[in-house]
Structure formats: structure tokens, C-alpha cells
Amino acid sequence: MHWNRNLALFAAAAITLGMGALKGSSQDSTNEKNWWRNAVFYEIYPRSFADANNDGIGDLKGITAHLDYLKELGVDAIWLTPIYPSPQVDFGYDISDYVAIDPKYGTMADFDRLMTEANKRHIRVLMDMVMNHSSDKHKWFIQSRASKTNPYRDWYVWHDGKGETATDKGKVPNNWASVFGGSAWEWDDKTRQYYYHKFYVQQPDLNWNNPKVHQAFKDIIAFWLKKGVAGFRFDAITTLFEDPAMADEGVVKDKDGNPEIQNGEPVLENIKTDNLPGVHDVMAEMRAHADKFSTNAYPGTRVFIGETYLPNIAELLKQYGTPEKPEFHLPMDTQVLLINKMDASAFRARLEDAEGELGANVPLFVFDNHDNPRIDARYGDGVHDTDIQRVLSTVLFASKGAALFYQGDEIGMKTTPPTRKEDVKDPVGQRFWPTYKGRDGERTPMQWTSAINAGFDSPTAKPWLPVPANNSTINVLAEKSDSKSLYTWYRSLIQLKKTNAAFSEGSDTMLDRNNPSVLSWKRVAPGAPPVIICANFSADPQSVDLVSQGIPEGAITTLLKTPGAADPASLKHVNLGPFGVYIGQLQFMISH
Ligand code: GLC
Ligand code: CA
């Protein structure tokens, strides 16, 4: 979207944009179609969100009981990580039945009730769709491993060992490694072949060269769409295909030319088993299938979100597909997630990528999820963590596109890894202890209150992961009534995203591009004066001169600023404290 120069310079007095500006019944069908474009998505890790029956494991009833909380926060849609029946080796990402609910989380009736209650509150529900692999306890794999002639044999990726004989299993077919450590090949004694698993041994990869696998997932997608879900987050989607030539992966070298070692194993290039082109055809096929459900019976666009860890913006762009052959609506921009330091220049580059390189596609930024240490551990300095979280959430909500965040981010939950190996639940943490402690630290229960077990569980229950002691201060109840809390900051940003057209729909133009410490940008949408955002990425006070950046001196109305900060007296001096944020809207139109 570009500012129309012909309309420039028509000076306006203060323009107030009311709540109604984006809503209205005549726009209902457009809203239904476009709901996702500026939407706020909230990731729920059901196991750790709220436990209604006090067995220590969060459940569907727990989620339903907190929908009002999500509504008040301003969430448009929730993505539930897997709730299907599962042996829970990878806490749900090892699925043994794709069209049922794991009894630990509840029943299908509980799910239907969650859908009804979410609908009442205009909150949409997205499911996790794990197509790369199933559990080894799925009936397909049980069949597949039963014999070489079983009709399900070629639903998975089987291969002879190198130099295999009737008595010797030979060597693994090649050097491909599991994301979770060790070889990606597992020997199966009964049928004397290896099967491929990109993740845990209990997660055999499905064979996407088999049309029956395509059809099976189309049926699964249809099942959930008919239940009214608003879309899917596609898990590990870039790993569907492997190099048909089975060539070894190259080994990544460090700066001295030696193999790079991580957790005691060589780091592989990961180009023979990741981001192969076949993924695009599968996603286009699934998208065309799901698009057929956007009918009167199932109103509203069904949205495809992708777990897309990719090396650069050009690869991300491909995941959107083309207008003729669309793939994802919102492949996650994980470039920004992986910056992992408070570096204004790096963020500027990523924002410019999202604005400039994605064409008409909608960016989806994400900073946090259930697989990475939380924001405090990756960006915090132990002193200004809350202010740092204000900076990052500003980038998340005040930049173009949709936004996705993880439960607990809004209250500043801290990464709390286990302190003893025997307490580790995530198998990868046990394997690599103590160099890598696994993902338990970012999966601790949601902190609702300061009570014992944080309102996640009754005080006498035993949560599956311990509640961090900091729930005495970091909790929803305390933060809701504190105007200076991180919760209040998140809520304010989300409200701005819903009520202020320039803030939610504007294009982003970076200002002060050489400033190494402060990220400043302008958001411009037709018919509204620009919104200006300045975020200090440093622990030192900073001052930004917007006038030198071509913004004429004039009135600005503060939309949001770090608690306790003063309003700028002049656009020449927007003063920011350590990791301070200022967001204001000019009270006049400008010509560029
Ligand atoms: C995704 C999930 C992660 C899981 C993996 C294998 O990365 O987010 O939790 O372990 O896929 O399914
Ligand atoms: Ca429970």
C-alpha cells in the first residue's frame, strides 16, 4: 500500500478512529474472508494451560474455562498443539489417531463444547496438523512394519541397510540424522529394513510419494474442517520429502574448516531432508482441498499457518505459493524468532524484508513457541526483562500483518528448565543433559494466580511439570489489575491493532536507518495520519530526532509508551529510557 501523493498535504485536525472503523455489519462477509490478515493468534500448549480435573495435565475443559480471559486479551484465534490420541513420547506430536481426542485432554464432546463456546466469543480454533510423521503406534505403522508385503508398507520410508545380508543388518543407508540426535534410521528386525524418522524413533516419517498418504490427510483435514475449525498449523512441514538419490548430507564446517559439533554430533547441512520442492505441490493440493470448505455451510477463510524454519526471505516467499496455486496463508517468519539478540539493525533488516520482499502476501511474525527457550532466556539481560519484552511485543503487534504469540508471553513467564536430570520430561533433554536440557523449561504450567500450583491445578494436585516459584509475582491475576504490567502492555497493543487503522493496516517504513540502538518506523494507511514507533534496543537512554527523518515538526498524540516515560515535547527529541518504547500518531497528514 502506497501513500497517494495527490492526496498529500491535506491538513487535518485530530482524526480519531473509533472502534467501529474496522467493523460494521455491511462488512461482515469481507471480515469473514479477511479475518486472518490482521489477526492475533495465540498458541495454546494444552498440557500446560489449565487443568480442570486436577490430574496434573491441562485439558480441553481447562481451555474452555479460560476463553473469557482470551477474549478480554483480544485474541482472534487459538492454535492448539496436538490433542489427538498419542503415546505422548513427543507430547502429542506422535499421533496414533488423527480423528479423535486423547482421553488425557478430554472427549470429542469436550472438544465440541470448546468450539461452541469459542464461537460465541468470536474466537476461532486452529488445530495442529502433523503430516511428516505419525506415532509408531498408529495403525498405519503397525501394519507397515508387519511385513514387506503389507498394503501399508509403502506408507512409510523403508530402506535396506548398506551391505545388508540375511544375517547382517549392514550399515545405515546414509548419514542422515534425527533432529533429536543420532541416526535418522532405525533398524526393524522383523522385516529386516531400516525406517526413516526425522524426529524421535517413535515418529516414523510418512512416505509422501504415496498418493494414499495424500488422500488420508485430505480426509483428516476434511474431518476437522467439518467440525468447524478455522484452519491448521502445519507441523515440521518443510521435512515431508527426502532426496530420492539418498545422498549423504554435507557436514557444516566451522571457521577453521573443522566439522562443527553440536551436542557431541556433527552439524549437517540439512538440505537432503529439508525444504525439498515437493512440499509445494502437497501444500497447494491441501490448500485447494481446504478452500472448497469456504462455503455458506462453513463461512470464513480456513487458514493455513506453516511451521517454516527457512534460511531466508526468498524461501519464505515460496511458501505462500502463487495466486493461481496458493499454499500457506501465513507461513511463520522465523527469521525474526532466530535473531536471539537485542540488535536493532537485525530487526530493521527483517522488518524491511517482510515489508519489501513478500509482495501482497501477509507476514506472520513469531518470537516464541513451545520449542524454544522463552523470550527472557533469548533476549533478556536479567535486569530489564519486562522492558525488553515490551520492545519485542511492539515489533510483533506494531508491524504489518498477523501476529502469533505463545501462552504466558503476555505475562512475561520465564524459562524454567529442570535442575536435575531425573526430572526431565522431554526425551531430547535426557539425551543431551546437561548441555541441552530439552524443552521443559518453556512448557511449565501457565501462571494464573499466586496460589500454590498457580491456579493451573488445585494446590494439592501434582502438575506434570513444576510451577516456577516466580508465580508469586508473575501471574495473570496480579498483572490484570496493574496498569504497568506486561499483560496490560500486550492488551493495549492488541487493542491498538484492532482499533487504529494505521497501526493495524499501515505499510511499514523504517526511519533513522543507521541508528544502531533505536528501531524507528512509520506506519501509513490511506486516510489516516501516520503512526510513529520508536523502540530502544539498548540499555542506555536514547533520543530520536524525527524531524531530521523528514517528519515535519507538529503535534503527536501518544498511543502507548513505556510506563513512567514522558511525552515528547518535540518531534526533534523523542526520549527513550533503557529499552523504552514510544508509539504516537501524528495529528496531521504528511506527503510521504
Ligand atoms: C515441531 C513441533 C515440535 C515437535 C516436532 C516434531 O517442531 O513444534 O514440538 O517436537 O515438530 O513433531
Ligand atoms: Ca487434566
405 lines ligand 1 (CB under 6 A): no
Burial of 20 (0-12, 13-18, 19+ CB in 10 A): exposed
532 lines ligand 1 (CB under 6 A): no
At residue 298, the pLDDT reads 72
179 lines ligand 1 (CB under 6 A): no
Please identify which residue in the block is written with the cell numbers 513505556: 562
- Ligand 1: which of 47, 199, 308, 369 to mutate, judged by most atoms within 8 Å of the beta carbon? 199
Question: Is 235 an annotated catalytic residue?
Answer: yes
At residue 297, the pLDDT reads 66
**Domains by residue range for the chain, with CATH:** 36-133+212-493 (3.20.20.80)
Please identify which residue in the block is written with the cell numbers 511485543: 393
- Ligand 1: which of 371, 372, 404, 440 to mutate, judged by most atoms within 8 Å of the beta carbon? 371
At residue 486, the pLDDT reads 98
pLDDT, mean of each 10-residue run, the chain (592 residues): 24 28 53 93 99 98 98 98 98 98 98 97 97 98 98 98 84 96 96 97 98 98 96 98 97 94 92 97 98 77 96 97 98 94 98 96 98 97 98 98 98 98 98 96 98 98 98 98 98 97 95 98 95 98 97 96 96 98 95 66
At residue 72, the pLDDT reads 98
At residue 25, the pLDDT reads 45
How far apart are alpha carbons 575 and 544 in whole angstroms? 6
Span between the terminal Cα atoms of the chain, in Å: 12
Convert the pLDDT of each residue in 425-450 to its tens digit.
Answer: 999 999 999 999 999 999 999 999 99
Question: Is 352 an annotated catalytic residue?
Answer: no
Convert the pLDDT of each residue in 131-150 to its tens digit.
Answer: 999 999 999 999 999 999 99
CA-nearest residue for atom 4, ligand 1, is 93
199 lines ligand 1 (CB under 6 A): yes
90 lines ligand 1 (CB under 6 A): yes
pTM of the predicted protein model: 0.94
Q: Distance, CA 88 to ligand 1 centroid (Å)?
A: 12
- Listed in sequence order, the residues at least 6 apart from 90 whose beta carbon sits closer than 8 Å to its beta carbon are 199, 200, 202, 203, 427
- Under DSSP, is residue 390 helix (H, G, I), strand (E, B) or coil? helix
Helices (H), 74-121: 108-120
**C-alpha cell, 347:** 530487526
> What's 448-513 look like in SS3?
CCCCCCECCECCCCCCCCCCCHHHHCCCHHHHHCCCCCHHHHHHHHHHHHHHCHHHHHCEEEEECC
At residue 23, the pLDDT reads 37
Residue among 318, 490, 332, 310 nearest 401 (CA): 332
How far apart are alpha carbons 304 and 326 in whole angstroms? 10
- Listed in sequence order, the residues at least 6 apart from 196 whose beta carbon sits closer than 8 Å to its beta carbon are 156, 157, 158, 159, 176, 184, 185, 204, 205, 242
Q: Which of 186, 307, 333, 368 is flagged as catalytic?
A: 307
At residue 10, the pLDDT reads 24
